[in-house]
């Protein structure tokens, strides 16, 4: 079925872009400035720590959130204000806001679950590795009748080359929802199981867009963050 999805989606994408803060160690830190970064929540004992994809460890000194109960490994957009910088990577901050990002583990695709996993088209706008996660900004058509399912899967029904690369597939199940309006989505998938003693891992990601199958090659350096993606505001409705 032919779709004019890109025409529907592009204006929405540009209209909802957010500016992510970048970190340059040679620049003076602006303590009165609010920063927004993609990050991983990491509660440690009675101290809540947040690891940003830009390489900062945020130590929460104060918070504007009444009910902040982080889950370890949860990905989020974090808005914060730096209060002090005791060393090159640790920052005492005031936490202004946290918007959770859909965070999932990689699933296995088998003959038993392939129908539920689905293979409906999506539009990939950016795909990159940072913070030990594969991050995907994508678009999909939505009809308000069903919750869409998003997964990153290891296809157990296919034999892949033994070339040291990890082959995965980005899958979408629209559950027969009508293609009425364009929606934006963002998701992070935990890549920790694929480290396997190697800090640099190449991933081959297969996806299905509105023109057919596409393939992406991305690298994850587990020793450092590689924050190269362009983040977008997204709709949290309509997918899981």
218, 134 in Cβ contact below 8 A? yes
Q: Is the pLDDT of residue 129 over 70?
A: yes
Q: Is the pLDDT of residue 47 over 50?
A: yes
Q: Is the pLDDT of residue 2 over 80?
A: no
Give me the torsion for CA of 82, 84, 85, 91, rounded to 10°: -50
What are the structure tokens assigned to 131, written together?
A: 């913070």
Rounded Cα–Cα distance for residues 23 and 156 (Å): 40
Asked whether the CA dihedral 12, 15, 16, 17 is positive or negative, the reply is positive
Q: Which domains does the chain have, with CATH numbers?
A: 5-16+102-221 (2.60.40.2370), 34-100 (2.40.50.500)
Q: What is residue 75's predicted lDDT score, i.e. its pLDDT? A: 97
Q: 205 versus 44: which is more confidently predicted?
A: 205
Percentage with pLDDT > 90 across the chain: 65
Average pLDDT estimate for 16-41: 60
Q: Residue 221, Cβ neighbours under 10 Å: how many?
A: 13
Q: Is the pLDDT of residue 236 over 70?
A: no
Q: What is residue 27's predicted lDDT score, i.e. its pLDDT? A: 44
Which of 19-23, 37-41, 134-138, 142-146 shows the lowest per-residue confidence on average (mean pLDDT)?
19-23
133-142 sheet: strands from edge to edge: 102-105, 181-190, 133-142, 123-130
Q: What is residue 20's predicted lDDT score, i.e. its pLDDT? A: 32
Which of 155-159, 201-205, 222-226 shows the lowest per-residue confidence on average (mean pLDDT)?
222-226
pLDDT digits (tens, 9 = 90+) for 56-65: 999 999 999 9
Average pLDDT estimate for 229-236: 42
Tokens 């989020």, residue? 76
Q: What is residue 178's predicted lDDT score, i.e. its pLDDT? A: 95
What pTM did the predictor assign?
Answer: 0.80
Q: Is the pLDDT of residue 138 over 70?
A: yes
Q: What is residue 107's predicted lDDT score, i.e. its pLDDT? A: 98
User: What is the SS3 string spanning the chain?
Assistant: CCCCHHHHHHHHHHHCECCCCCCCCCCCCCCCCEEEEEEEEEEECCEEEEEECCCCEEEEEEECCCCCCCCCCCEEEEEEEEEECCCCCEEEEEEEEEEECEEEECEEECCCCHHHHCCCCCEEEEEEEECCEEEEEEEEEECCCCCEEEEEEEECCCCCCCCCCEEEEEEEECCCCCCCEEEEEEEEEECHHHCCCCCEEEEEEEEEECCEEEEEEEEEECCCCCCCCCCECCCCCCEC
pLDDT digits (tens, 9 = 90+) for 163-182: 999 999 999 999 999 999 99
Q: Is the pLDDT of residue 183 over 90?
A: yes
Q: Is the pLDDT of residue 67 over 50?
A: yes
Tokens 């679950």, residue? 113
């Amino acid at each position: 079925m032919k779709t004019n999805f890109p025409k529907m989606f592009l204006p929405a994408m540009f209209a909802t872009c957010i500016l992510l803060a970048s970190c340059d160690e040679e620049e003076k830190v602006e303590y009165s400035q609010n920063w927004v970064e993609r990050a991983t929540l990491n509660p440690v004992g009675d101290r809540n720590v947040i690891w940003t994809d830009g390489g900062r460890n945020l130590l929460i000194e104060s918070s504007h959130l009444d009910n902040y109960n982080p889950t370890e490994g949860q990905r989020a957009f974090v808005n914060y204000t730096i209060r002090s910088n005791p060393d090159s990577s640790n920052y005492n901050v005031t936490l202004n806001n946290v918007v959770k990002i859909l965070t999932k583990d990689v699933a296995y695709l088998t003959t038993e679950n392939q129908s539920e996993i689905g293979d409906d088209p999506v539009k990939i706008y950016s795909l990159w590795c940072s913070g030990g996660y594969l991050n995907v900004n994508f678009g999909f058509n939505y009809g308000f009748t069903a919750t869409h399912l998003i997964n990153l899967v290891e296809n157990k029904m296919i034999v892949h080359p033994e070339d040291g690369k990890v082959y995965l597939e980005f899958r979408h199940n629209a559950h027969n929802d009508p293609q009425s309006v364009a929606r934006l989505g963002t998701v992070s998938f935990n890549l920790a199981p694929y480290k396997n003693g190697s800090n640099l891992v190449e991933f081959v990601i297969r996806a299905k867009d509105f023109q057919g199958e596409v393939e992406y090659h991305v690298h994850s350096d587990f020793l450092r963050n590689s924050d190269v993606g362009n983040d977008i505001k997204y709709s949290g409705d309509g997918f899981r």
